[in-house]
Amino acid sequence: MIAIFRREMRGYFDSLMGVGVIGAFVVLMMLLSLLLDPLNQGGDWFKRGELSMRTFFGVFPWVAAVVVPAVSMRLWAEDRRQATFELLMTLPIPTWQVALGKYLAGLVFLAAMLAGTAAFPLMLANFGQPDWGPVLGGYVACFLLGAAFLAIGMFLSGLTENQALAFFVAMLVCLGLVGLGELRTFFGDLARARPTAALVHLTSLPVVGLAVLAAAVSRDKAVGAGSVAVGLAVNALTYLFDDQPSPPKSEAVVAALGQISVLDHFREIERGVVYTNGLVFIASLVVLFVVLNVWSLESRRHS
């Protein structure tokens, strides 16, 4: 596993790709943090006369959903393209150690990306007396969310030898997870008007997603297509029946949405408080996609 880890780290830093990704991430975060105001208070840091990392942490999930897939896209796709994938699969070590070595290298690279933004907390310390709790909590939240996106990207990279395709699909999945938090208001309104339909959406869509992932791992197109067709049919049929609003059911739907929203969990951890639900949820995402990655590799190793 250590040899795999060292090999991947050399792959990141022996080429301009690694330095370029870190540089692009730092520049993008700086520009967005200085120019955007997520609370729409009419101005950037300088116009408001306020120096904080609120904007930085506000835009990070969206930037990470684009940049982290660029880090993970090469983890397996590059080996498949260079025909070294078969060599890795014949090494006399368990598959999970190969996958874990690659994932740990990605985590170190993610930490290097975040370390590149150290200018922000240094500015806070130089020009004021910041509350370090939210700053440290924000960085922990950024690392955990990035780790989840990295696991998703690594799994998808193992399914194709095309790095561009691995990047694009991983980016869509990560953006979808972040966007779900922004759709909470829409789902809340839907839950109040049609609680059964909202409940069906929230329960069926993750199940269909898992079925599609399982089909991708086993390369069974029939299962994937069938899962999507059944999911669409079930969700469409809910609108053919009368659905009377039910306050208890509506509240349950809104609460369930909060539990599966990556963005909501990220914001809770960012505040610098110990938030067990968020930690467990993000850790579960990491474990799920790392296990799926190992499962998919095992299916190829013994096929």
Per-residue model confidence (pLDDT) at position 45: 54
Amino acid making up residue 76: W
Q: Predicted confidence band at 49 (pLDDT cuts at 50, 70, 90)?
A: low
DSSP-derived letter for residue 93 is: S
Answer left, alpha or beta for residue 157, where phi above 0 means left and psi between -120 and 50 means alpha. alpha
| Closest of 224, 107, 97 to residue 159, by C-alpha | 224
236, 248 contact by CB (below 8 A)? no
pLDDT in tens, 5-40: 888 888 788 777 778 888 889 888 888 877 765 444
Euclidean distance between the first and final Cα of the chain, in Å? 23
DSSP-derived letter for residue 238 is: G
What torsion do the CA atoms of 179, 180, 182, 185 make, to the nearest 10 degrees?
150
Higher pLDDT, 45 or 271: 271
CA distance to 79, 145, 156, 178, 245, per residue, from 292 (Å):
18, 18, 10, 21, 39
Contacts 24+ apart (CB under 8 A), 277-284: 278/141, 279/144, 282/144, 282/145, 282/147, 282/148, 283/144
Does position 191 have pLDDT exceeding 80, yes or no? no
The residues spanned by each domain of the chain are: 2-177+273-301
Q: What's the CA gap between 123 and 50, in Å, rounded? A: 12
269, 279 contact by CB (below 8 A)? yes
163, 301 contact by CB (below 8 A)? no
Does position 222 have pLDDT exceeding 70, yes or no? yes
- Work out the average pLDDT over 75-103: 79
187, 204 contact by CB (below 8 A)? no
Q: Predicted confidence band at 92 (pLDDT cuts at 50, 70, 90)?
A: confident
Higher pLDDT, 136 or 255: 136
Q: Predicted confidence band at 292 (pLDDT cuts at 50, 70, 90)?
A: confident
Per-residue model confidence (pLDDT) at position 21: 86
- Work out the average pLDDT over 142-153: 93
CA distance to 1, 51, 60, 117, 136, per residue, from 55 (Å):
38, 10, 8, 13, 15
Distance, C-alpha 244 to centroid of its chain:
36
Residue 257 CB neighbours (<10 A): 23
Amino acid making up residue 265: H
pLDDT in tens, 223-242: 667 777 877 787 677 766 65
Whole-model pTM: value is 0.78
Q: Predicted confidence band at 108 (pLDDT cuts at 50, 70, 90)?
A: very high
298, 95 contact by CB (below 8 A)? yes
- Work out the average pLDDT over 190-205: 69
Per-residue model confidence (pLDDT) at position 244: 56
Per-residue model confidence (pLDDT) at position 157: 85
Per-residue model confidence (pLDDT) at position 302: 58
Does position 245 have pLDDT exceeding 60, yes or no? no
56, 33 contact by CB (below 8 A)? yes
199, 178 contact by CB (below 8 A)? no
Per-residue model confidence (pLDDT) at position 15: 73
